[in-house]
């Protein structure tokens, strides 16, 4: 999708980062992020050494607790918030449900065999390692730039909370790199992996349809089916009704409480905060989502836009189509 000439031109635009200022940027970023990650992991060990303290009160505790339940032969108990709270023993009143397909439970299950701080350390290390690996095709071999983007301060909230956003970013970057190299099937496999949290990639199908990337589409479908069917053989068909019920309950709870939530980043929250009816706010959000989809389709269909522009244009709408994003305390 990107000619050798365009690739060389794109790499040339990155050459300023190979100079002295680039080394300062990369070095400062690496040191700062290293200190931040080290501090976060140290705190996780210190806090969990306290008597009666099993885990930190962060999002990762849900992944870890679900993994422990799965190892204990109770994978479906992950949908029971009370059972999750019994395992992680932190702030049982906080509303943090399990909302993931069975493929993701397979991924986090091994973490349940470790203590919380060790599991959190492994999770953080693997997440950052995969992001660094996925960024390599886009930095033209410039190490300072690679360090700056792979260890960017923008990742700090995800690192601190132990979210899966870095894993999904790595998958998206890997898919874009494969598309750029016209490795259509491999791109589809990476895109299929993103369905472990599908709301972060809802613009991707419109880009693929625009360029008629049928092999990528079918590879993504096949990967998605495999990620759904194979874990279902392990956990049983009852997993899906429980997931559907949990997601429906989560949606209703979030919408009922949205006007009292903080740190939201979506248009729905802003409109609700201004007094707009929640139903109308959702319809406005849906209209913007449709507009984003049309824009992504048109961008990827265009012969005048280069691959870098198309990739950036596809990532930009990721923030807008998500109506809900933020913490939830209580019910």
pLDDT along the chain (331 residues), means of 10: 83 92 96 97 88 80 96 95 88 80 97 95 97 96 96 94 93 95 96 88 92 97 96 96 93 77 72 85 90 94 90 72 44 39
Phi and psi at residue 8, in whole multiples of 5°? -65, -40
Pairwise CA distance, residues 187 & 172, whole Å = 9
The answer to whether 242 touches 305, Cβ cutoff 8 Å, is no
329 occurs within a structural domain: no
Q: What's the residue count for the chain?
A: 331
Q: Which two tokens stand for residue 68?
A: 């422990």
> What pLDDT score was predicted for residue 298?
95
Q: Which residue, among 163, 216, 207, has the nearest Cα to 312 in the 3D structure?
A: 207
> Domain for residue 328, yes or no?
no
Q: Is residue 268 part of a domain?
A: yes
* Residue carrying structure tokens 């319809």: 283
Any domain includes 330: no
Nearest Cα neighbor of 123 from 138, 106, 111, 137 is 111
Within a domain: residue 229? yes
> For the chain, how many structural domains are there in total?
1
Give me the sign of the Cα torsion angle 107, 110, 114, 118. negative
The CA distance from 265 to 77, in Å, is 31
Residue (of 229, 30, 41, 47) closest to 120 by Cα position: 41
Q: Counting Cβ atoms within 10 Å, is residue 111 exposed (0-12), middle (13-18) or buried (19+)?
A: buried
Structure tokens at 134: 């996925």
Asked if residue 324 belongs to a domain, the reply is: no
The residues, ordered by sequence, that sit 6+ positions from 50 with a Cβ below 8 Å of its Cβ are none
| CA geometry: angle 159, 160, 166, nearest 5 deg | 20
User: Could you tell me if residue 325 is inside a domain?
Assistant: no
Distance, CA of 10 to chain centre: 27
Check residue 253 and give its pLDDT. Answer: 82
The whole-angstrom separation of Cα 195 and Cα 193 is 5
Considering only CA atoms, which of 22, 252, 51 is closest in space to residue 147?
22
**What CA–CA distances, in Å, run from 49 to 123, 124, 169, 197?**
19, 19, 32, 32
Q: Tell me how far apart the alpha carbons of residues 304 and 312 are, in angstroms, rounded to a whole number.
A: 15
In the prediction, which pLDDT does 193 show?
Answer: 95
In a domain, 65, yes or no: yes
What backbone torsions phi and psi does residue 94 show, to the nearest 5 degrees?
A: -75, 130
pLDDT value of residue 324: 43
296, with CB counted inside 10 A (0-12, 13-18, 19+), is: buried
Two tokens at 25? 């940027």
User: Which is nearest to 155 in space by CA: 164, 166, 144?
Assistant: 166
Tokens of 210: 């625009």
User: Structural domain of residue 196, as residue ranges?
Assistant: 4-319
Cross-strand bridge partners of residue 94: 329
């Amino acid at each position: 999708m990107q000619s050798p000439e365009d690739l060389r031109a794109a790499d040339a635009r990155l050459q300023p980062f190979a100079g002295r200022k680039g080394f300062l940027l990369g070095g400062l970023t690496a040191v700062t992020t290293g200190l931040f990650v080290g501090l976060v992991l140290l705190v996780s060990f210190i806090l969990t050494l306290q008597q009666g303290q099993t885990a930190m009160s962060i999002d990762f505790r849900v992944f870890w607790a679900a993994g422990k339940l799965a190892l204990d032969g109770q994978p479906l108990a992950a949908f029971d918030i009370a059972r999750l709270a019994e395992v992680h023993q932190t702030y049982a009143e906080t509303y943090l449900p399990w909302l993931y397909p069975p493929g993701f439970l397979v991924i986090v299950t091994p973490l349940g065999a470790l203590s919380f701080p060790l599991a959190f350390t492994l999770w953080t290390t693997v997440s950052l390692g995969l992001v660094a690996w996925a960024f390599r095709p886009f930095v033209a071999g410039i190490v300072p730039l690679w360090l700056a983007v792979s260890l960017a301060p923008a990742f700090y909230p995800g690192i601190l909370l132990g979210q899966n956003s870095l894993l999904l970013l790595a998958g998206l970057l890997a898919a874009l790199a494969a598309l750029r190299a016209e490795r259509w099937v491999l791109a589809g496999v990476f895109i299929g992996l993103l369905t472990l949290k599908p709301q972060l990639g809802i613009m991707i199908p419109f880009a693929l349809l625009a360029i008629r990337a049928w092999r990528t589409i079918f590879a993504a479908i096949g990967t998605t089916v495999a990620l759904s069917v194979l874990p279902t053989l392990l956990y049983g068909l009852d997993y899906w009704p429980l997931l559907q019920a949990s997601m429906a309950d989560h949606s209703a709870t979030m919408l009922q409480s949205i006007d009292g939530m903080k740190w939201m980043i979506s248009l729905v929250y802003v409109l609700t905060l201004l007094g707009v009816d929640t139903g109308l706010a959702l319809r406005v959000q849906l209209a913007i989502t449709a507009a984003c989809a049309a824009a992504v389709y048109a961008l990827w269909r265009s012969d005048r836009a280069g691959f870098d522009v198309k990739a950036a244009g596809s990532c930009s709408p990721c923030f807008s189509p998500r109506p809900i994003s933020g913490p939830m305390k209580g019910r």
